[in-house]
Structure 1
Amino acid sequence: MYQPHVFTLTEDGYRGPAPSWSTGVPSLWLVDTDRAAEAALLLAPKILDASELARVEKLAFPADRACYTAAHLALRLLLGARQGVAPEAVRLTRERCPSCDGPHGRPATGGGTHFSLSHTRGVALLAFAGAPVGVDVERVPEARVVQEVSAQLHPAEAAELAELPPEKRPTAFARVWTRKEAYLKGEGTGLAGGLAREHVGTGPRPVGPPGWDVTDVAVPGGYAAAVAVRAAGRPPAEGDDRRK
């Protein structure tokens, strides 16, 4: 399990180290978006671009606006530190989708840095690496959600959940969900790739799909998180990699 760095947002921005990593090991950063909300409100007009600010305005709830704002400020500040540019100068784009070739694949930027961002109310998680990477953080769901969605998972994962006592299923479901989504985001397909396609496991140790390393991430109680990184020197699960 990876222990992420804690990202602290201040009214002056960020004064910590830039993301750095060794081969196959991502650089992970955790943001308490509630704690960062006040500073984020002051910094957002100076750093976020027009599309990001418009997205904030469309969110109905203050907690969601604070979460999105803090997460995207952290992304720009960390990428800016890595690239040696001002955070507002960071250029964010989208790669082509590997499934349909549409303009909604993995988020990307210049400079050879691969990154991924996930947020849910109260927490954001960011990953940076020298290879394709995906990250996901989620709240542990209610039991009814587990019951409604479990059948959509890989048959082996659905069977694993069914064998657990009911009180242990939400935590196990949160593990498999974050592992699965981290992997699918790393591939660039997202949930459109289907929840049943690969087996990543519900137990304490993830099962990495071919060509990927999947690892759980330490996050506050009530949440689960995982990161998936393209393994060096190993091919992707399916055919040619169109996401270089």
Structure 2
Amino acid sequence: MTTALFPPAPVSTWLVPLDDTADGVVASLGLARPEGAPASWLDADERARAARLHDATDRHRWLVSHVALRLLLGAALEVHPSAVSVVREACPRCGGPHGRPALGPSAGRPLRFSLSRSGGHALIALRRGLDVGVDLETATAGTPSPAAPATDGLARWVRTEALLKSTGEGLTRDPDAVALRPTAPGVWSEHVEGDDAAGPELVGPAPTVADLALPSPLVAAVAGPGLDRARVRVHLPATAAA
């Protein structure tokens, strides 16, 4: 199961329907159902965060997205979803324990992940050994995205968000200060005009951003050091055979 689900592609991404049941998501990911109730696969912090969401639809979608994340991490690590330890890195601005999520030291494998939600879908990216960031938005004809200044800037916003997630900066860095330029069809890199415009100094290859081809009206991108679009694998939800 693990070999088929996680081929030797540098980055694998999964589109997850969030208005389904947890068991439906298990099937859509093509996984065997782990033992126990889906709520028991989450940790106490995840359950508490979900409980603070007052809207029932938002709460359900948040829970399903994190169930899907744990399912994929558990499959990649070959452990039960409840055994996956998720921690927070240090914030790049203040050093507090509220930076991007990462696997705890007990995982023992260099696996990075990123999760983005928009409406009734989530997009999850996994990458072995190198950082990864993903962003997903839903385009609405004639209506600006709540996150982007205007609809025609949605693709740029998604690329920028993916880039900042991949570096761990997130919105601690002003997205408007990020300038991207195309380096290949569907591939982008940050254009830095001077040392003062650059983000934090990075070790290893610079992050690049790749557009993802998803069903309309979804717009998405994935980013990471030395990322090659040709070797990014996109998994769409599996459908039951007729």
Same fold per TM (> 0.5)?
yes
Task: Give 1:135's aligned amino acid.
Answer: V
1:142 Cα offset (Å) = 6.3
Cα shift at 1:95 = 1.4
Structure with greater proportional strand content: 2
Report whether the alignment pairs 1:181 with 2:180.
no
Show the counterpart of 1:77.
71
Alignment partner, residue 236 of structure 1: none
2:127 is aligned with what amino acid?
A
**Residue 112 to residue 149, structure 1, CA distance change in 2 (3 Å):** closer
1:194 maps to 174
What's 2:42 paired with? 48
Match for residue 114 of structure 2? 116
What aligned pairs does 1:1-244 form with structure 2 within 5 A after superposition? 17-22=4-9, 25-36=10-21, 39=24, 43-109=37-103, 110=107, 111-130=109-128, 131-141=130-140, 143=142, 145=144, 150=149, 170=151, 172-200=152-180, 205-209=186-190, 211-231=206-226
Give the CA deviation at 1:36.
Answer: 3.5
Alpha-carbon shift at residue 66 of structure 1 (Å): 2.0
The two structures, once aligned, show a CA RMSD in angstroms of 2.9
Q: 2:231 — aligned with what?
A: none
Deviation digits for residues 173-218 of structure 1, max 9, x if unmatched?
221111111111111111121112221269x844212711201112
Q: In 2, Cα distance between the equivalents of 1:140 and 1:79?
A: 29
Counterpart Cα distance in 1 of 2:22 and 2:223 = 28
* 1:134 maps to amino acid: G
Quick check: 136-145 or 76-85, which moved more? 136-145
Where does residue 199 of structure 2 map in the other structure? none
Shift of 1:18: 4.0
What's the secondary structure of 1:132's corresponding residue? coil
Residue type of the alignment partner of 1:113: L
In the alignment, structure 1 segments of 5+ residues that lack a partner are 1-13, 151-168, 233-244
Aligned to 1:166: none
User: How many angstroms does 1:53 deviate by?
Assistant: 1.2
> Can you list the C-alpha shifts for 1:149-192, whole angstroms capped at 9, x where unaligned?
54xxxxxxxxxxxxxxxxxx62x322111111111111111112
Number of equivalenced pairs: 196
Call closer, same or farther: CA 1:223–1:86 in 2, change over 3 Å: same
Shift of 1:17: 4.4
Percent of aligned pairs sharing the same letter: 36
1:29 and 1:191 mapped to 2: Cα distance?
24
Distance 1:142 1:43 in 2: 39
What is the rounded CA distance, in whole Å, between the counterparts of 1:119 and 1:17 in structure 2?
25
Specify the alignment match of 1:242 in structure 2: none
Contact 2:139 2:145 in 1 (8 A): no
Tell me: CA distance 1:142–1:189, structure 2 relative to 1, closer, same or farther (3 Å). farther
Stretches of 4+ moved more than 3 A in 1? 14-22, 36-40, 141-150
Contact 2:158 2:219 in 1 (8 A): yes
- Distance in 2, matches of 1:148 and 1:26, equals 25
Query: Which amino acid in 1 is paired with 2:180?
Result: V
Residues 135 and 182, structure 1, Cα contact 8 Å, conserved in 2: yes
> Contact 1:63/1:121 (CA < 8 Å) preserved in 2?
no
TM-score, reference length from structure 2: 0.71
Q: Is the 8 A contact 1:106 1:186 kept in 2?
A: no
C-alpha change, 1:96 and 1:21, in structure 2 (3 Å) is: farther
Give the Å deviation of 1:51. Answer: 1.2
> 1:43, 1:17 → 2: CA distance?
25
Query: Which ranges in structure 2 are unaligned for 5 or more consecutive residues?
Result: 26-35, 192-205, 228-242
In 2 relative to 1, CA 146–121 (structure 1 residues): closer, same or farther, beyond 3 Å?
Answer: closer
